[in-house]
Amino acid sequence: MVRKKPANESVLKSSVVSLGLTLGLSIGSAAFMSAFPGTAFAGPLEDALSAARQDVEQGRCGQAERQLAGVSGLEGRARLLAGQCQIRSGLYPEALNSLDAIRGDRDGLSPEQVGDVELYRAVALYHLERYTEADAALTEAEGVSSDEAQLLLYRGLIALRDGDNDRAAPALESAARLSPELTEPVASYYAGLAWQGAAERTRAREAFQRVVDLDGDGSWGKEAKKLLEATGLFPFFLRGKIGVEFDDNVLLRGDVAEIADDRRDSTRGESDWRGVWAIDAGIQLFQSDDGEWSGGATASYTGNNHVDLFAVDIHYPTVGAYIANQLGTNTIGQARYQFGHAWVNDDPYLRSHVAEISVAHTWTRAGTTIALVDVLANDLRFQPFEVQDGPGPSGTNAPCPGNPFGCSPAGVNETSARNRDGIGYGAGFEHRYLVTLPQGLNKIIEQLELGGGYHFRYYDSEGEEWEHFSHILNAGVNIELPLDFSIVTRISYEHRDFANPSTFPDVETPDVEYTLSGNDRSEHEVVFEGEVEKDLTDNISVSGRYSYLTNDSNRDAYNYDRHIVGGYLKFRFD
């Protein structure tokens, strides 16, 4: 099970900042009053403090500093307030400069305020991704700063980032308990992630449940709900769809018919309407006590039912299993196997085996990379049709009486050459990156994920017709929009370089022996898919999809285009 990132990471990240600064500014008056015990503040001092707070709320950091800098003895505190305000505004380099200036001149600061300077330096350094320095500043602030809850929050965030879940989880839990009104739901959300990483499912569920209770309709609550559902004792997923499609080239008919394949109906039209359905499920069956090993089972079933071309109705169930290993904090290795058996109409068509080993690594800022190797084996349950050989020597265009499709050159064994049974060996990689959206744009696009990859495969077929090397490039964009809309687009390019010429002719002459090209078969396939989806509930959605495929081949039998338009009702539970 792969953990999904928060729907809008930039918004959530800024929430951590505003959370901390709300806490920091709320204690400002207490620290200010404690510095002058027994003094009744009124008049100019109270006005200056009130005005400074209003300036901070409006993001006028320089003006807030000037409000207090003019009061004798408050110069250091004015710079501290300015640094806090700049952090709140996301001005981390400026905040660090302001706070560093105080370290050289601490006159007028109480010991707690000196600790606060180090704490807020740590906050600025954290968001500048200078994590080692941030950790050192937190150490300086420990036991001194008045803001223990925020100190623990950032201590936990740094530990979580470093993969130290056992240290991160207690720190984040303590931050949540000390000041829930100021640190929640942030602290519990990240505590849940830390407990999850430490294989403490019960504690992770408790933390995520707190987030749902506090922020059920907010960004944190929605993401916590997904993680809560995925952190059961036996995590599972169940996805499916039913729909209707129009396909303008059901038979993948090229510029000439593949006359030797008796499963192609050359007398009917290529286009047709069909009903389609698919279901995909998996369940985790075990997990080791330390959380490093887990495994489970998978199953799927896809099928369709055509209106006219019912002879090519497909039913394809699969079953499989997987085992996964937590190789590192952000690295997961997985091995899986899948067996499938397909029928066309009521006749057995294909048995398939797929074995795959993959490693997925999530980088700190650069997304997730997946590398894999795989082996697939196909066993087609029918024999290609043998074409009648011509009566004369090859290339003589001898007549073929009684054969409206013509006949093949002498000595060509189509049954053997067109046997698609074989084993494929592949390797590839894929990378997915969740784009951090700038403020303003994240109100239009809630999430933007980019992805792409490359796959190489060698297919060693029993028949010479299908032995080939292939190179596959793909790219995609996933966009989450307001009102629970999403857009998914994908484009791929595949070059298939075959090892032999084709046994299909480019020109079919009735009643005459046809000729074959001596050039090796070569193909370039491009596929584009786009789908718009609308969530109706957390588990049900509707979508519309368009797919276009073009296969450019130097053999006319494989030179074709295809358009598919469909509408679907989908469901998902996980």
pLDDT band at residue 506 using 50, 70 and 90 as cut-offs: confident
Residue 32 pLDDT > 50: no
pLDDT of residue 31: 38
- Backbone region of residue 291 per phi and psi (left: phi > 0; alpha: psi in -120 to 50; beta: other values): left
Please give the model's pTM, rounded to 2 decimal places. Answer: 0.64
Per the DSSP assignment, residues forming a β-bridge with 567 are 244, 544
To which H or E segment does residue 224 belong?
helix 219-229
Q: Which two tokens stand for residue 541?
A: 């959605």
- Give all domains of the chain, ordered by start, each with its CATH number: 9-198 (1.25.40.10), 236-573 (2.40.160.40)
Say which residues have a Cβ less than 8 Å from residue 376's Cβ, sequence separation at least 6.
352, 353, 354, 355, 423, 424, 426
57: closest CA among 102, 26, 93?
Answer: 26
Q: Determine the Cα–Cα distance for residues 361 and 327; give it in Å rounded to an integer.
A: 9
Query: What confidence tens digit (pLDDT) does each residue in 189-231 have?
Result: 999 888 888 777 778 888 888 898 888 888 888 888 878 766 6
Mean pLDDT of 12-38: 40
Higher pLDDT, 455 or 206: 455
Q: Which two tokens stand for residue 458?
A: 């060698």
Mapping DSSP onto H, E and C, the string for 192-209 reads HHHHHHCCCHHHHHHHHH
pLDDT of residue 67: 57
Residue 148 pLDDT > 50: yes
Mean pLDDT of 423-452: 87
What are the backbone dihedrals phi and psi of residue 349, each rounded to the nearest 5 degrees, phi first? -120, -45
**One-letter amino acid of 251:** L
Query: What confidence tens digit (pLDDT) does each residue in 47-59 have?
Result: 555 566 666 565 5
pLDDT of residue 274: 96
pLDDT of residue 28: 41
Q: Which of helix, strand or coil describes residue 63?
A: helix
Mean pLDDT of 133-160: 87
**How does DSSP assign 466-533, residue by residue?**
G-EEEEEEEEEEEEEEGGGEEEEEEEEEEEEEEEEE-SS-S---TTBB-----SEEEEEEEEEEEEEE
Tally of CB atoms within 10 A around 232: 12
To which H or E segment does residue 151 belong?
helix 148-161
Q: Determine the Cα–Cα distance for residues 390 and 399; give it in Å rounded to an integer.
A: 7
**One-letter amino acid of 363:** W
**One-letter amino acid of 298:** T
Cβ–Cβ under 8 Å, residues 453 and 430: yes
pLDDT of residue 39: 37
- Count of alpha carbons within 13 Å of 96, Cβ hemisphere only? 15
Say which residues have a Cβ less than 8 Å from residue 222's Cβ, sequence separation at least 6.
7
Residue 62 pLDDT > 70: no
To which H or E segment does residue 44 belong?
helix 44-57
Cβ–Cβ under 8 Å, residues 315 and 349: no
Query: What confidence tens digit (pLDDT) does each residue in 527-538 have?
Result: 999 999 999 987
Residue 34 pLDDT > 60: no
Mean pLDDT of 398-424: 82
Q: Which residue has the tokens 């073009």?
A: 550
Q: Comparing 224-233, 370-379, 456-465, which segment has the lowest mean pLDDT?
A: 224-233
Helices 148-161 and 111-127, axial angle in degrees (round to 10):
30
Average pLDDT, the chain: 81
pLDDT of residue 265: 42
Query: What confidence tens digit (pLDDT) does each residue in 260-301 have?
Result: 444 344 434 589 999 999 999 999 888 776 667 889 999 999
- Count of alpha carbons within 13 Å of 277, Cβ hemisphere only? 7
Residue 402 pLDDT > 80: no
